[in-house]
A and B are shown apart, each in its own frame.
Chain A
Amino acid sequence: MTETPAVTCHTLSKSFGPVRAVESVSFRLERGEFLALLGPSGCGKTTVLRMIAGLEQPDSGTISLAGQVVSDGHAFVPPDRRRVGLVFQDYALFPHMTVAENIAYGMARGRDRHGRMAELLALVGLDEYGGRYPRELSGGQQQRVALARALAPQPDVILLDEPFSNLDVALRTQVREDVQRIIHMAGVSAVLVTHDQDEAMSMADCIAVMFAGRIHQIGTPRALYEAPVSRQVAQFLGDANLIPGTARERVAETALGDLPLRTPADGAVEVLVRPEALILGDIPDGALATVQRTIYHGAHQIVWLVLADGTPLKAFAPADVEWQAGQQVRVTVRGAALAYPA
């Protein structure tokens, strides 16, 4: 028997005046899965989240939560009856309530509220802070209160709207791990909205990449990185060298030499070469390139090169060899590459 998905969005669209914020977005979120909606700011990802929460009404399309239609042409279930938790970018903690009052706000009346409160405070590591007011907490602590508050009514799905953007970079990695652990322990499904590819890749089981209101690709972080469907996706996830060339069947003729292709193509193309796929050294059949500059990173180094025809390249190379600016070096590509029609 197949379980019903936690969230199903089918051809969602939404316009604000003349601006088409979301266009025909569809995806499924399985139970217990962690999905990231990744895209540049203004791509419509937050609008998708707000439509799932019931804070915006889609112009068309269907949203189902745990198999129940909550929004389509006829029905619209208000946010308070969707069993969806939302963690806001600015946390939106009620300033006139203590931490405990904030967390208790959404809990059902009656049942073991004290026990549940203690459990939640412990889960987010704020056992001692129940009586404090939000303004007395650090950003990271406020973040965890917001998460505990969203989890308190035991939602089926938790939605996170750029939850780490207000935190110091130094704090972010730690808080990310905490949040991921807490959500995993709570056993809920989650949708994370972010513009940070590191965040999406490190937290999510599955990433949906959005540009200009549309989802361009959905897949695991590995699938997206290794087989992006377009140049745009390739460039948004990680670093990408896009090298112009001419393809015939499974080979592309480029300034880097003849590169084997994973899928056959014909005519003018751009070939995706990730920086870590470039091999630098004294390789007999490699293309000749000139080192422009290097940045040493300890474990590896970044080397900027330029090919004889002027094509720039970025390479991640082992740190053991020290390259000098102006030095000539030979370059080859490891493995088969992807080509996009130019």
Chain B
Amino acid sequence: MSACNDDHCITCADEGVEMRVLERGAAGVSVCVTEDGGRADVMTELVGVVEDGDLVLVHAGVAIARLRRA
């Protein structure tokens, strides 16, 4: 998993981080990227099928929600 976002760890608190799907992978694991370029393998099975470019809310290595486009 990518490092913490400045002074604020993405898994130490009950907070999620918005990430963009860079590359949909096999077995429900996709490569995602944070705002500041941090990459991580993210399990996406809880948010259904994702496509490259989709925005998801990630917590502790798992996407728990999709961000809706305005």
Determine if chain A interacts with chain B: no
**A residues apposed to B, CB below 8 Å:** none
